[in-house]
Amino acid sequence: MQPVTVIGIDPGSQRTGWGVVREISGVLHLVDCGVVRTASAGREFSDRLARIYHELAKVLTRCKPDEAAIEQVFTAKNAASALKLGQARGVAVAACAACGLSISDYEPTLVKKSLVGTGRAEKEQVAFMVKRLLNVREADWALDTSDALAVAVCHLTMRRFAALTGH
């Protein structure tokens, strides 16, 4: 298989995690990662959405991933939270689509199961496995960033599986 670079995104209206992972001959390499924080973006919710879009666009331009993987909206505390989360996710999808990337969606339980072995894994368990799989000893990133990296790793795993099975 050819080397492939994937951006994983864990969307959120206050914190959107992102992580770029490159796979070369079956070996995963961390390219870059971070989190878009929107608290200081402005007073309006639209300002937060604009920050997510523009910050992700900068990352996409700098890292030039081949594909994108975005976590699906799982559940929210209430309808208003679910709507905001969905809008943040939509902005992330739009940023990736504007760069011409193919976008794959993954349910949080599938991401957790592919890395930890159970769909109900805690965030800390996912973060531990992400560090192991990317061969990172000390990571000072946020859990949102670990979740985004997990989405990218899950996508790469699914790509390998599809290539092996012909699906």
Annotated binding residues, as ranges? 10, 71, 144
Given the residues 10, 23, 55, 67, the one annotated as active site: 10
Active-site entry in 23, 55, 67, 144: 144
- For the annotated binding site for Mg(2+), the residues are 10, 71, 144
Active-site choice (23, 67, 71, 147):
71
In the chain, % helix, strand, coil (3-state, to 5) comes to: 50, 25, 30
Q: Is 71 a catalytic residue?
A: yes
* 10 catalytic per annotation: yes
23 among known catalytic residues? no
Taking each helix axis from N to C end, the angle separating 108-116 and 123-133, rounded to the nearest 10 degrees, works out to 50
Residue 100 φ/ψ region, left for φ over 0, alpha for ψ in the -120 to 50 degree band, beta for the rest = left
Residue 32 to residue 35: CA distance in whole angstroms: 11
Q: Which amino acid is at 71?
A: E
Q: Which residues are catalytic?
A: 10, 71, 144
